[in-house]
Amino acid sequence: MAERLRDDRYLGAGGAGDLALELYAGVAELPILSPHGHVDVELLSRPDARLPPPGQLFVTSDHYVTRLLYAHGVPLAELGVGQEEPDDRAVWDSFTGRLDLFAGTPVALWLRETLAAVFNLDPRVDASTYDALAGRLASPEFAPRALLDRFRIETIATTDPAGSTLAEHRSLHEQGLGGRVRPTFRPDAVVALDAPGWRGALAALEEVSGREIGDYDGFVEALAERRAAFKELGATATDHSTTAVWTERMSHAEASAAFATALAGDVGESAARRFEAHMLNELARMSVDDGLVMQLHLGSLRDHDRPLAARFGPDIGGDIPVAADWTRGLRPVLEAYGAEPAFGLIAYTLDETVYSRELAPLAGHYPALRLGSPWWFHDSPNGIVRFLDRVTETAGVAKLAGFVDDARNFTAIPVRHDLWRRRCCGWLARQVEAGIVEPGDAPRLAHDLAYGLAKRAYRL
Amino acid sequence: MAERLRDDRYLGAGGAGDLALELYAGVAELPILSPHGHVDVELLSRPDARLPPPGQLFVTSDHYVTRLLYAHGVPLAELGVGQEEPDDRAVWDSFTGRLDLFAGTPVALWLRETLAAVFNLDPRVDASTYDALAGRLASPEFAPRALLDRFRIETIATTDPAGSTLAEHRSLHEQGLGGRVRPTFRPDAVVALDAPGWRGALAALEEVSGREIGDYDGFVEALAERRAAFKELGATATDHSTTAVWTERMSHAEASAAFATALAGDVGESAARRFEAHMLNELARMSVDDGLVMQLHLGSLRDHDRPLAARFGPDIGGDIPVAADWTRGLRPVLEAYGAEPAFGLIAYTLDETVYSRELAPLAGHYPALRLGSPWWFHDSPNGIVRFLDRVTETAGVAKLAGFVDDARNFTAIPVRHDLWRRRCCGWLARQVEAGIVEPGDAPRLAHDLAYGLAKRAYRL
Amino acid sequence: MAERLRDDRYLGAGGAGDLALELYAGVAELPILSPHGHVDVELLSRPDARLPPPGQLFVTSDHYVTRLLYAHGVPLAELGVGQEEPDDRAVWDSFTGRLDLFAGTPVALWLRETLAAVFNLDPRVDASTYDALAGRLASPEFAPRALLDRFRIETIATTDPAGSTLAEHRSLHEQGLGGRVRPTFRPDAVVALDAPGWRGALAALEEVSGREIGDYDGFVEALAERRAAFKELGATATDHSTTAVWTERMSHAEASAAFATALAGDVGESAARRFEAHMLNELARMSVDDGLVMQLHLGSLRDHDRPLAARFGPDIGGDIPVAADWTRGLRPVLEAYGAEPAFGLIAYTLDETVYSRELAPLAGHYPALRLGSPWWFHDSPNGIVRFLDRVTETAGVAKLAGFVDDARNFTAIPVRHDLWRRRCCGWLARQVEAGIVEPGDAPRLAHDLAYGLAKRAYRL
């Protein structure tokens, strides 16, 4: 195992290897801040919860894995997707029998790292891996609550719909874990007036708010109340995702009319998109009021493959990035609130071309804006370096928001942070070697990238 | 010469040089698969054919060369373009007297490699080079058919219009070379209803089909018949090129009307573009039927310099890339056929920004889609590495389509494959050194990139 | 100091360090050509002029510095912006007390280099730095005219509005410095018919032309006359900046009507943008006539933050890049004049994606077009390498326009050229090491990048 997972792996630092290792040693053991991700809160709220078995944990519920297997013609059913009681070992074998397809992708890297670092197994999958994994996953040592400590997770945020009752978070609060596990307010489902699930999401919001939402004003009030409830249970951030990058405000009359039309059941797509843009602006205004940091995950075309999405539901139909105009798209919200000291805005993009063209220049001007770490497809060894190379010269390291792991698989969290830390340290060492970064600045920058920036950006 | 062409050239592998050389040694001598290019089929169908003399071969007929000389003010006539009987030596001197202009470009690299590796000459051009080259080109050892063996070309495809008689391919078939030299079905000229050459191309299609094409249905039938004829003579692929990335289907009535309008002689540009988009969808449907792999070369604005194109014809007026929306543009064809096991689709782009933003995510979802190697301007040492860095983490190596040389100059074929193989091996070695690719996977990936992927993608 | 500023700094050449140092030694001491920048001409025309004190020189007047401090919430007033009599030392301290924010940015690099190389001070700022700097800046040895010699500036161009009297340039001419300090004709303010300052700029043009400008024809004549006046005082170039990349000609009647409407005071935004596009075409025609090289700085959305611009004026409101279509946008001007031997066109972009997709292919075809060095945000260590990597394989080094420093801070000029030279030499050495550039070509290419290309492109 020692031979396979070298100490200097992922540093990719060429001649600057010693410095990279030194920088990495200074941050490797820092606590983890995980202010954005998709871990199921129930895993954390119930002390006796266990992670699912290997097939479900590493395959069925990880769309990094299912998408690429599907792309090679493997039927989703064979991967457990949409199955009531899949044969978990068969699901695992479907994946691990095709690891060749993942060579060079972060999926392969995360898997071997997780096996070795988290499960203390040989990183090379063989016939014994499944049983060993399954055994550990069922043991108390691998209960999520135990892992929370073992992983040194200082704080972790889940992502929760606006209409969530937050029952689990309330329970965590009562168990004294309120500051450690935090909810994140994500109102997308109630904001997208034309989405199939809109009415259901609105009903949940009404239910949890204990009020009927009969018009736009009531809607906005309900959102503000829910934000307060989230905040009370430890939330420091909200999260928002739209395909378009558009934040233009409607007049109050227009917004009210659009909402009324939706309630009446016949809102059109264009009104729905305008309302979505308007609500990003309105939700920013609320952030100025309550101090919740606003995360934007923009530019993903959800459910690209509509026939597949129709059969298997969201997150399976392929979310594919599109180009967008961040410069003009964020202008309304930045002109309005970009200099408000109480406002924090963190931008995540799937379009690497806007790193240097738009996002770094914008973050290099507006006080409220910080740049989120590489998202999704770009949260990879080479993607991380492209990000750092393209944004830091214009925006400086100090305008970044650190790292979020965005993980669904709880056991992947330490591995993702470790990869980020290693890549950052390798990159820093090369910048020092080239004379761009001062040697004396590097340890501080490494610490910031690993820990400090996220702490400040997310107000933890 | 040994000093000038070092063994480790183009590997650019830094500290990973030994591994890169080792990987390269494992693939350097593999047979060549050349499933897409523009070699004149007559050179191969006639056993006694000879390549043209140096000026014509290396200058006049190579628009990589003529474009950059033109860009420095050299008159095209001086390069033989559009000339009945140019002075071939003068043409050669016009180029080689200005080699300084090509420093750092792949043209300079291909030239010195070709001189050394193919012609066994000093890679530095001097006064004796022309005669030596001319002598060799006239000799039987350098007849294309001899080179086919010497280059270890297992199979090579030409690109042929839909209305081609395929007489040369038939002859090759009769000579027992049918599986080795294959036609490719390229219907662009009959699909672009408003192109100046449309009526002529349609007439050729009618002639070869032995039928009058009086309406859209007849047109589609004729295309299907020609596809069958191509397939019979070894074709495994079709090729398509449009400026827009757009694949939306028309209704049958709309398509019929557009075709009828064109026959009547007054189709407008917008109808012509819609028909082109529709036909990409329709031709994909035919690929599902007959199994011919569909190549898309999209996003090039042909004949940018219309005054020059008016004087010298196509391929001289500058084909310049434009940005395009592949995510939305390919959606119709991918939703319709992207999961059909019989369908193979290979995408080539001139816009490097879509590698990581759109193409790799799409190929990482749709089973039918594979990513073609860097096209045209990007088929260069640094272009190849940018491509590999941007697509493999999301799509994996296994979703690539290997390498196509796209060559017009037959003698450049081995050199282009060698450059690709060297760059891939250098890149792989760096990925291994950084810990991203497992050492044990590298030889297999090198073999795939050099040979296996093209074989599978093109169904050879 | 020797420890902190290593000889091989910024070369970033990995194993090719010796060659990089050798190449750099060959160009380090070459004279400086500075054909585009924003130095105040008065600093050069008055022999007794002195540079402003440290705070004003390094902070208030440098929007690279003010923007990032503002982005961290520092009030602009604290940086001297818009202040009548700021406390210069406090301004300096506001910046240097926050140098951490600039780690990894070129601002930090330029500062330490300038302190060391220009002022012979410790590159690490401490409490003594301000006084030492202030003392030097007040001394005759640091008078701009003395620095002109010390910096080995062979020629430097200022940027001057079309309505400038050129009094200082006339004075320089009379002092025998006419060929060394040159004006640049920048008519943006009179071309943007809807800009708030248009009428004032037009009045200045009328005043200096000694003619009333009552219609479009008179406007064009006045421009042509001013161009001649600029040329007489040494100008070799013009400069133009628009947000859109659009060069479509209007008919004479349309252009006349748009101009008349503007004079009448009610031109709309869309007519103003069309007129701007038209004028780029018309000004290109004038360049064909008079041989002044045309510089295009396109694609920046000026004053993104309108509330801030309203308070503090232009250059403070954040100029943020936008994506644009250079392929179609430049087509009218390139088709019309791109092959005119008298025409020189130099393109600067803030969108790195067009380097390889559009600009290099265009420059690799049209004789008139050359590619300007990385502009603004991208004039940074990594930005320079990305530029070279993306354009040279398609356009060749010989189609570049060398380097322009674009400096406002006169003392930064040698430092910016030095950084460019170092990065180019490091990049060249790596290209040689990889076998892409021939060893014998490298010294010539280094010399061209440092000096020769700018000389030829700007016709100096």
CATH topology of A1-48+143-157+374-460 equal to that of A161-167+177-371? yes
Mutate to test the interface with A, among C107, C304, C308 (most CBs of A within 10 A): C304
Query: In which element (H, E) is residue C92 found?
Result: helix C88-96
Residue of A nearest to B339 (CA): A73
Q: Over 70: is that where the pLDDT of B43 sits?
A: yes
Percent of chain A with pLDDT over 70: 99
Q: Do C320 and A358 touch (CB under 8 A)?
A: yes
Interface confidence: ipTM more than 0.90: yes
d(CA A245, CA A327): 9
In chain A, positions 136-175, which contact chain C (CB-CB < 8 Å)? none
Q: What is the pLDDT of residues B404-430, one digit of tens each?
A: 999 889 999 999 999 999 999 999 999
Residue of B nearest to A423 (CA): B434
Selecting from B15, B105, B112 the residue whose C-beta is nearest the C-beta of C396 gives B105
- A161-167+177-371 CATH fold: TIM Barrel (3.20.20)
Chain C's closest residue to B426, CA to CA, is: C434
Q: How confident is the model at residue B4 (pLDDT cuts 50, 70, 90)?
A: low
For domain A1-48+143-157+374-460, give the CATH number: 3.20.20.140
**Rounded mean pLDDT, A281-299:** 98
Query: How many angstroms separate the CA atoms of C317 and C306, rounded?
Result: 6
| Whole-angstrom distance, CA of residue C206 vs CA of residue C194 | 18
The shortest C-alpha distance from C64 to chain A (Å) reads: 9
Tokens representing C30? 């070459």
- Give C174 to chain B, closest Cα distance, Å: 37
Please tell me the predicted confidence (pLDDT) of residue B31: 98
Q: Is any Cβ of chain B less than 8 angstroms from the Cβ of A102?
A: yes
Please check whether residue B390 touches A, CB under 8 A.
yes
Q: Does C453 touch chain B (CB under 8 A)?
A: no
As given in the structure block, the two tokens for residue C451 are: 């000096």
Residues 392-421 of C with CB under 8 A from B: 392-399
| pLDDT at position C323 over 50 | yes
B185-219 per-position pLDDT tens digit: 999 999 999 998 999 999 999 999 999 999 999 99
Q: What average pLDDT does the segment C134-140 reach?
A: 98
Mean pLDDT value across residues B327-347: 98
Domain A50-142 has CATH 1.10.2020.10: yes
**Of the partner residues A70, A321, A378, the one whose CB lies closest to the CB of residue B367:** A70
B244-278 pLDDT tens trace:
999 999 999 999 999 999 999 999 999 999 999 99
Burial group, residue C139, by CB count within 10 angstroms (0-12, 13-18, 19+): exposed
Cα B150 from Cα B141, distance rounded (Å):
9
> Residue A324: closest CA among chain C residues belongs to which residue?
C323
Integer-rounded Cα radius of gyration of chain B: 22
Q: Can you give the pLDDT at residue C16? A: 84
Interface test with A, best of C3, C66, C105, C386 (most A CBs within 10 A): C105
**What per-residue confidence (pLDDT) applies to A148?**
97
Does residue B127 sit at the C interface (CB-CB below 8 Å)? no
d(CA C354, CA B352): 10
Q: Are strands A300-301 and A320-321 parallel, antiparallel or unpaired?
A: antiparallel
Q: What's residue B313's pLDDT?
A: 86
Is the CATH number of domain B14-50+148-457 3.40.50.300? Answer: no
pLDDT of residue B1: 39
C308 touches chain A (CB under 8 A): yes
Please, what sign has the CA dihedral across residues A346, A351, A352, A353?
Answer: negative
Residues in A 12-41 with any Cβ partner in B closer than 8 A: 12, 14-15
Q: pLDDT tens, C263-316?
A: 999 999 999 999 999 999 999 999 999 999 999 999 999 999 999 999 998 878
Predicted confidence (pLDDT) at residue A2 exceeds the cutoff of 60: no
What's residue B2's pLDDT? 37
Instruction: Say yes or no: C100 contacts chain A, CB-CB below 8 A.
Output: yes
Chain segment C31-44, per-residue pLDDT in tens: 999 999 999 999 99
Q: Is the CB of B318 less than 8 angstroms away from the CB of C431?
A: no
Name the nearest CA neighbour of C190 among C221, C230, C149, C162: C162
Q: Identify the three-state secondary structure at position B347.
A: strand
**What burial letters (b/e) apply to C21-52, b meaning 16+ CB within 10 Å?**
bebbebbeebebbbbbbbbbbebbbbeeeebb
pLDDT digits (tens, 9 = 90+) for C168-208: 999 999 999 999 999 999 999 999 999 989 999 999 999 99
Q: How close is the nearest chain A Cα to the Cα of B335, in Å?
A: 6
Question: Closest approach of chain A CAs to the CA of B229, in angstroms?
Answer: 30
Q: Find how far residue A182's CA is from the centre of its chain.
A: 14
At residue A45, does pLDDT exceed 50? yes
Taking only the tens place, the pLDDT of each residue in B122-174 is 999 999 999 999 999 999 999 999 999 999 999 999 999 999 999 999 999 99
* Type of residue at B334: L
Tell me what pLDDT residue A1 has: 39
pLDDT at A313: 86
Asked if the Cβ–Cβ distance from C10 to A394 is below 8 Å, we say: no
Burial per residue of C143-172, b for 16 or more beta-carbon CB atoms within 10 angstroms, e otherwise: bbbebbeebebbbbbbbbbbbbebebbbbb
CB burial of residue A46 (10 Å; 0-12, 13-18, 19+): middle
Kind plus residue range of the DSSP H or E element containing A339: none
Are A125 and A96 in contact by the 8 Å Cβ rule? The answer is: yes
Q: What is the mean pLDDT of residues A37-65?
A: 96
Nearest to A103 among B14, B323, B438 (CB): B438
Q: Confirm or reject CATH 3.30.450.20 for domain B51-142, answering yes or no.
A: no
Say which residues have a Cβ less than 8 Å from residue B134's Cβ, sequence separation at least 6.
B53, B54, B88
| B400 DSSP assignment | B
Report chain A's mean pLDDT, rounded to a whole number. 96
Does this model's pTM top 0.95? My answer is yes
Quote the crossing angle between the two packed helices C252-264 and C216-232, to the nearest 10°.
90
The rounded mean pLDDT for chain C is 96
What is the pLDDT at residue C314?
A: 81
- Residue-level pLDDT at C4: 61
> What is the dihedral angle through the alpha carbons of B167, B171, B174, B178, rounded to the nearest 10 degrees?
-80
A257 in contact with chain B, both atoms CB, cutoff 8 A: no
In whole angstroms, what is the distance from residue A233 CA to residue B408 CA? 67
Using the predicted structure, report yes or no on whether residue C100 has a pLDDT greater than 70.
yes
Q: Is C8 on the interface with A (CB under 8 A)?
A: yes
Cross-chain CB nearest to A71 (options B335, B366, B430): B366
Percent pLDDT > 90 in chain A is 95
Question: B295 in helix, strand or coil?
Answer: strand
Domain ranges of chain A: 1-48+143-157+374-460, 50-142, 161-167+177-371
pLDDT given for residue B316 in this prediction = 85
pLDDT of the residue at B85:
95
Name residue, tokens 């290979």.
B346
Q: Could you tell me where the DSSP H helices lie in A97-174?
A: 106-113, 129-138, 144-150, 167-174
Contact B392 A105 (CB under 8 A): yes
